[in-house]
Amino acid sequence: MTLATLKDVLTPAYTLGYAVGGLVTLGWEDMRAYVAAAEAENAPVILQAGPSCREHTPLPVLGKMFRHLADSATVPVVAHLDHGYTFEDCQIALDSGFTSLMFDGSRKALQQNIDETAAIAEMAHAAGISCEGEIGFVGYSGGEGSNGTDPAEAAQFAKESGVDAMAISVGNVHLQENKEGGLDEDRIRQIDAMTDVPLVIHGGSGVPVEQRTRLARETSICKFNIGTELRMAFGNALRDAVTRDPSRFDRVTILKETHDPVEAAARAVIRAFGAPPQG
């Protein structure tokens, strides 16, 4: 078994200067392809169950799926709750076998965010697993705007919340389909100078690949969440499989044809983070 906590995979990344992919899952087909990609690249991987995934599949089922994949993997696999909005979300994930809890209190006032995140971190650490928090709000493409992370608030949050990793808002946007944007490197370096915790970029699909690679090497950013570009790879592969033969109706046959394209896309994502060979 290579089931790992978030701290297990981010501590060496922080020390050696690389990042680990937090790959956003929606179902069995993509999570299986992500683990295959990680094994092919001999790199760790973080399987993430976000809100849309949890709407489709209950957390207790997702926990078993993640752990099943980790059981047979040869590289570290983290079972990560992404954007848990309540203590109950996080408690259910912990009880379901997740090894990392991300509590999102980023819409709340600073002290409330610190207090509630600290309670989640305490619960996680008591169970021997990890906790990620968020300071500053990362907006959504076509939706809510961002509220950039204040470096001084980040320093206070990192010190008082007890998190193992801290997500920041530095020009990143959720659900962005192109890579025309980029991160605010001055703000990142200010936050980096005032904290000593691994940093996380949500909405990583919109970040140019060159910038991902360089910031993983040069800063404390140790985790990039990647969802949209992998969902696009899955959707394109599924569309091709369906339209290639309109007479087919067996979904297992059709879904199998998404595996190789999604694995290839995930391999490219993982490779760019620069993790050294595992083991």
Residue 116: CB partners within 8 Å, gap ≥ 6? Answer: 87, 103, 105, 108
CB 131 within 8 A of CB 124: yes
CB 38 within 8 A of CB 73: yes
Count the neighbouring beta carbons within 10 Å of the beta carbon of residue 39: 19
- Look up residue 204 and give its DSSP letter: G
The interaxial angle of helices 28-41 and 59-72, nearest 10 deg, is: 30
Count the neighbouring beta carbons within 10 Å of the beta carbon of residue 195: 20
State the catalytic residue, choosing from 30, 82, 150, 164: 82
Q: Is 245 exposed, middle or buried (0-12, 13-18, 19+ CB in 10 A)?
A: exposed
- Look up residue 206 and give its DSSP letter: G
**What is the largest distance, in Å, between two alpha-carbon atoms of the chain?**
60
- Look up residue 141 and give its DSSP letter: T
CB 188 within 8 A of CB 221: yes
Q: Is 150 a catalytic residue?
A: no
* Active site residues per annotation: 82
